Amino acid sequence: MNSSLAHRKVAGLTANLAPYHHARWQAFAERSGTTCFVLELTNKDEFPVMEYQTAGASYERITLFPGQLEAKLTATEITQRVARALDQQRPDCVCLSGYATPLALGALHWCARNRVPAVMLSESTVWDEPRQPWKEWIKSRVLRLCSSALVGGAPHADYMAQLGIPRDRLFLGYDVVDNDHFARGAASAKSHESELRQKHQLPDAYFMASARFIPKKNLPRLLEAYARYRQLAAPAPWDLVVLGDGAGREALRTLRAQLGLEKNVPLVGAKPYPELPAYYGLASAFIHASTTEQWGLVVNEAMASGLPVLVSRRCGCAQDLVQDGVNGVTFDPYQVEDIAQTMLRLASSAEQLSAFRRASQEIIANWSPQRFADGLSEAVEAAISTPRPRPTWFDLLLLGLLMHR
């Protein structure tokens, strides 16, 4: 327990409290000893299997709009509701998830008016989206109202520093998952391998991908690269098992048929959290091909499950989690041949695979919920001990405009 925070009240914010959020906030509440609560915008997700029920948590979960989808809510409704909740709870510090949503901006506006320190939780990098000078100036104005930040890794810290957060108030460890959940589940799956492969209709050897079916996840190009890999790897190529769902599902089915891959690329849908470790545990390697990704928590899950990882260089986690030639390989997500060759090289070396598996679990051990708890405790301490930013009338006006844009 962190005795310096034991009598403090800390608020967290999230759009929807997913399993990895729970693991983080549970670890923080236990580590810090604070009275901790998480304001969740809604407990509904467009994919019901993503919804998560907490029980026996060391923090309080407060849902602002129970049973409603985020897409149905207006900015005015959100900002008013979050301000009302913070008025009722009166936290000593508020931890914001990002700086662009009505939820985060409404909470920051409340902090500025009430002189309560805010901690920015961010996984943005300078290169994950096109950057325009006028937008960067606005971000820097918003971030000057935050007292400290907890970020994903090295490139995220660089970006926050560029936007004006002092280096001595930047801390790492935002992007973590419940490593033990995936390690235990993967080990259990291996001990029941035959029955689980039959139950889930999984091939003996396969690359695994897991993503929402949206453009930035780059799944069509991944399928094209996989088709090329099969040409190179004959006569015994691995299959490709794809978890997930979304608007691009039918287009992906069509492309799969055009490439003649129906039998080799099962699209198994989105899976509930308790079932995920079995898919990781029985896989041979994991691949994540996004063309832009602020972090990529599925890579954490795969590494905790003991998998070699093939990761796009455009993923924010690549620099901190993937050591080329040690636990995996990075690749150019725009180059089909590069992706195919990367798959081929990995699948062709059984000795290398064993070493990669061990290294993945060793590396990810340093990115556990405990790291989030330690990093956030330091960020909250820094925020509370730092003189509060003094918002100008222009800052409040800007926040008001951004909240309702």
Q: How does pLDDT run along the chain (405 residues), one tens digit per residue?
A: 566 898 899 999 999 999 999 999 999 999 999 999 999 999 988 777 777 888 789 999 999 999 998 989 999 999 999 999 999 999 999 999 988 999 999 999 999 999 999 999 999 999 999 999 999 999 999 999 999 999 999 999 999 999 999 999 999 999 999 999 999 999 999 999 999 999 999 999 999 999 999 999 999 999 999 999 999 998 889 999 999 999 999 999 999 999 999 999 999 999 999 999 999 999 999 999 999 999 999 999 999 999 999 999 999 999 999 999 999 999 999 999 999 999 999 999 888 899 999 999 999 999 999 999 999 999 999 999 999 889 999 999 999 999 887
Q: What are phi and psi of 59, to 5 degrees?
A: -125, 165
**pLDDT for the residue numbered 234:** 82
**pLDDT for the residue numbered 369:** 98
Other CB atoms closer than 10 Å to residue 3's CB: what's the count? 8
CA 40/CA 61 separation, integer angstroms = 7
**pLDDT for the residue numbered 111:** 97
**pLDDT for the residue numbered 293:** 95
Which architecture characterizes domain 3-176+369-403 according to CATH?
A: 3-Layer(aba) Sandwich (3.40)
CA 267/CA 240 separation, integer angstroms = 9
DSSP state of 49: G
CA 153/CA 168 separation, integer angstroms = 15
Q: Give Rg (Cα) of the chain.
A: 22
Looking at the whole model, is its pTM more than 0.85?
Answer: yes
CA 14/CA 23 separation, integer angstroms = 13
Can 3-176+369-403 and 179-364 be said to share one CATH topology? yes
Which architecture characterizes domain 179-364 according to CATH?
A: 3-Layer(aba) Sandwich (3.40)
Q: Which helix (H) or strand (E) holds 319?
A: helix 318-321
The token pair at 104 is 């985060």
**pLDDT for the residue numbered 47:** 75
Across the strands, what pairs with 63? 40
Q: What is the residue extent of each domain of the chain?
A: 3-176+369-403, 179-364
Strands (E), 247-397: 267-269, 285-288, 309-312, 328-331
**pLDDT for the residue numbered 237:** 96
**pLDDT for the residue numbered 3:** 63
